[in-house]
Structure 1
Amino acid sequence: MAGDSGPERVLVAASFVNRVGNGLFNAASALYFTLVVGLPAAQVGAALTIAGVIGLCAGIPGGHLADRHGARAVMAAALTVQAVAMAALVLVETWAALTLVATVDQIAAAVGGAAWGALVARVGGERPAVFRAKLRTFVNLGVVLGTAGAGAALAADTRGGYVALVLGNAASFALCAALLLLLPRYPVLAAPPRQRRRPAFADRPFLAFTALYGAMGLQYPVISLLLPLWISEHTEAPRWTVAALFAFNSAFCVLTQTRIGSRIETPYDGGRAFRTAGLLFLVSCPMMALAAYAPVWAAAGLVLAAVFVHSLGEVWESSAGFALGFGLAPDHAQGQYQGLLGLGFNAGQALAPAILTTAVLGLGTAGWLLLALFFAALGAAGPPLARWGMRTRPQPAAAAEAAAQAP
């Protein structure tokens, strides 16, 4: 990371450590709760759903806290709470205890996510797109390494191994919080006079982008949920294809995020990138559907080619989200705006399994084609939304003065 500023290196390191821990835990969390804690899968699902829904409500207040009291302090506090909650999971023995601990964790995660967005906006410096792309590269790499590390515990299949994963994730939260203390104390930015208390809720272009971003987020479970089910139930592709596509998707994003994302800097760039992503998904989804009609090795090749195109779309989509999400948000309210954006994205992710399994798997090939058209339509809305958003942004003082003096 030669040439990076000290704060950039700190935030990259903190995010990497955090995501390694996430990878360790997420790969084995369901098995830990069912095999080690001994809870029925239905109870585990209910506990995590309740926690997730309650956590959705915490992002916007958490972002407001970050704007008013400093993103670094709020994020470090949220990570500390997550470290304690994660460590407490090793003591959980009942459904009620799991629900309580998971809810505390999800509230802290939502608050920390909004504060993280505000902190990224402050640390990004003069070339924020380059930094955010690099940050996502290391985040993806951390998840890959954490998931690989979880494989050893899964192979051993012992209580001690699963507990080690839980405590490893707790330690990653604590280390991440400690690393944030190396960042400077960025001053809180004052809101303009007569500014609304919750300006994000009155910002119609940003609200529209939040809905658009949440809907386009359905592309993530296409790889993690929908395609594996399609391969298993409708194609002749060997089962190892599922593992191969996960590895390929992660590696592709790690290798290309900085190269592509560093060129997408302004909201206008983001709108065009959103359109490009929609067109790539328009190609990838029918390719996945066609695998059901191909012989075994052709099906495997077609699926991997589809994942290549889809992964390229994912990189363009995430880069568009950075450019629009940060570019349309005012500096003094980044936390609140990122909290709202996170709410929209997480709501979409919560609805995605039901939508994808019923609307796409239920309709078969026609469902895939409808999904492709859906993504393309969302992408086409990117450029006009970017233009609308920029028309409604406050003009910088110098530009406003020049406009007032113009004949």
Structure 2
Amino acid sequence: MATMTELSSTGGESKYSQDVKVDEKLIPRKVPGLCSTRYGLALIVHFCNLSLITQSIIMYITMVAMVNSTDHQSQLNSSTEGLPVDSFGGPNNTPKSLPAVGSGLGGQFALWEKWGPPHERSRLCSIALSGMPLGAFTALLMGGFCSQALGWPFAFYVFGGIGCVFCLLWFVLVYDDPVSHPWISNSEKEYIISSLDQQVSSSKQSLPIKAILRSLPFWSICICSVSHHWLLNILIVYTPTYISSVYNVNIRDNGILSAFPFLGACVTGILGGYLADFLLTKNFRLITVRKIATVLGNLPASAFVVAVPYFNSNYITTITLLTISCILSQLCQAGIYINALDIAPRHSSFLTGVSRQFSHISSVLVPNVTGFLLSQDPEFGWKNAFFLMFAINLSGLIFYIIFGEADIQDWAKESKLTRL
């Protein structure tokens, strides 16, 4: 990875307006910060992620109304529940399947191979990925109201139209690299190219599949992603069911209360990216920063969920614990979810796509395992389900702490071609 010399602190200028030497090349003094092409690109990807997630979730919000169109009003009230727990539920009203939301997000990481300076990747990726929880917030908050006021087809018209707008913005404003972008400033172009000089090459290499399959750092990302998605699936689907069964209050019928944790998660994801880059400026090792973000996004969040059954006499405390857990879980955006850019920037799009798809194993296992536990022991089923989630989450986290790396792997370097 490109290294950065100590930054001078003269004149109160930001660190990005100073002369920075990266790989023995001097980056221009006046480099745009937030009002720059690369941050604009992150914002466009943010809204594209928002559109993708809203269109995925809105399908499940309106599913009941689509299937049972004979009683629109009553079914539209049910459609605000967000996910198809009631329409596809098994025993004890537990879902038989969960939506694999976000399965096509791996390709966006190819952009940051050529657009993301190493010491800014955490914040750029976090800004882009934060569109996912914001999309969940938007769909849960507005989907039910839109269906009730205009009818369920208009939910698709509205969110589909928004997606078309962002699609047009993507085609017009997004380019493969800074060199081909027509409106980027020369100073920012030189800044990005210089910072990526030792990481990005125009030459093409075949994908080293066997080397990737033998890579423990790659598998640590996949396994930790599975364990973290297990936590997310519990938070999104089963905690509302838990509250409904314990307090006889279906919080999914309250759009604001259901959506609020995802708004906080969006903010936390962005702040986590800035915190990660801040730690890098304080001479923290990159792998240390990635592991800190991953630990904070896994361990406290899963511990709060485990604590929920022990506070079942206090509704406010339960809601608070679940909200904090949802918010903290997004700190992983600056950890495992961008770690592929560190270990193999040339192949990060492929690695991220594979790890994302691999993580959806939890979408298959969670409803079956949790549903079985609840059907076998209604009294202690929730504790068993939450403790199992904690054990799986902790196991994946430990595996990542032991085997996770942030150095570019030998099989990902241009100078060392892997013959398989």
Q: What is the TM-score of this pair, normalised by structure 2?
A: 0.65
Deviations 1:198-231 (A, max 9, x none): 6433323312321221122111112211101111
> Which of 228, 235, 247 is equivalent to 1:216?
228
Contact 1:118 1:334 in 2 (8 A): yes
Deviations 1:297-343 (A, max 9, x none): x2x21212212431243022332223423222x12212221221122
Q: Give the equivalent residue in structure 1 for 2:266.
A: 254
Find out whether 1:236 has 2:247 as its counterpart.
yes
Q: Give the equivalent residue in structure 2 for 1:171.
A: 164
Deviations 1:32-90 (A, max 9, x none): 45544769999x97xxx99x89xxxxxxxxxxxxxxxxxxxxxxxxxxxxxxxxxxxxx
Corresponding residue SS for 2:275 = coil
Contact 2:113 2:341 in 1 (8 A): yes
Q: Give the equivalent residue in structure 2 for 1:351.
A: 365
Q: Give the equivalent residue in structure 1 for 2:297.
A: 277
Corresponding residue SS for 2:117 = coil
Corresponding residue SS for 2:350 = helix
Task: Show structure 2 runs of 5+ residues with no match.
Answer: 1-31, 71-83, 89-95, 182-199, 278-285
Task: Show structure 1 runs of 5+ residues with no match.
Answer: 54-105, 401-407
Contact 2:130 2:269 in 1 (8 A): yes
Change in 2 beyond 3 A, CA 1:176/1:237: farther
Contact 2:43 2:128 in 1 (8 A): yes
Find out whether 1:117 has 2:109 as its counterpart.
yes
Superposition pairs of residues 199-210 of structure 1, within 5 angstroms? 199-210=211-222
For 1:28, the aligned partner's letter is I
Superposition pairs of residues 303-382 of structure 1, within 5 angstroms? 303-328=318-343, 330-359=344-373, 362=377, 363-382=381-400
Deviations 1:257-301 (A, max 9, x none): 222232335233222332333330342122222243x1xxx2x21
For 1:201, the aligned partner's letter is L
Superposition pairs of residues 3-402 of structure 1, within 5 angstroms? 3-20=34-51, 22-23=53-54, 25-30=55-60, 32=62, 35-36=65-66, 112-126=104-118, 127-156=120-149, 158=151, 160-165=153-158, 167-168=160-161, 171-172=164-165, 174-175=167-168, 177-181=170-174, 184=177, 185=180, 189-191=202-204, 196=208, 199-233=211-245, 235-236=246-247, 238-240=249-251, 243=254, 245-264=257-276, 266-292=286-312, 294=313, 298=314, 300-328=315-343, 330-359=344-373, 362=377, 363-387=381-405, 390=407, 393=410
Contact 1:274 1:380 in 2 (8 A): no
Corresponding residue SS for 1:238 = coil
Corresponding residue SS for 2:276 = coil
For 1:122, the aligned partner's letter is K
For 1:216, the aligned partner's letter is H
Corresponding residue SS for 1:217 = helix
Structure 1 or 2: more helix by fraction: 1
Change in 2 beyond 3 A, CA 1:172/1:149: farther
For 2:218, the aligned partner's letter is F
Instruction: State the Cα RMSD in Å.
Output: 4.0
Change in 2 beyond 3 A, CA 1:202/1:395: closer
Q: How far apart in 1 are the matches of 2:161 and 2:321?
A: 35
Change in 2 beyond 3 A, CA 1:30/1:147: closer
Q: How far apart in 1 are the matches of 2:110 and 2:338?
A: 14
Range moving further from structure 2, 264-273 or 217-226? 264-273
How many aligned residue pairs are there? 330
Change in 2 beyond 3 A, CA 1:280/1:2: same
For 1:223, the aligned partner's letter is L
Q: What is the TM-score of this pair, normalised by structure 1?
A: 0.67
Q: How far apart in 1 are the matches of 2:355 and 2:395?
A: 20
Corresponding residue SS for 1:254 = helix
**1:171 shift after superposition:** 2.0
Contact 2:147 2:153 in 1 (8 A): no
Change in 2 beyond 3 A, CA 1:238/1:377: same
* Identical amino acids, percent of aligned pairs: 10
Q: How far apart in 2 are the matches of 1:391 and 1:335?
A: 15
Q: How far apart in 1 are the matches of 2:52 and 2:393?
A: 32
Deviations 1:132-173 (A, max 9, x none): 122233443344335434233222252552452464265256
Q: How far apart in 2 are the matches of 1:161 and 1:395?
A: 47
Q: How far apart in 2 are the matches of 1:149 and 1:2?
A: 33
Contact 2:42 2:124 in 1 (8 A): no
Change in 2 beyond 3 A, CA 1:392/1:246: same
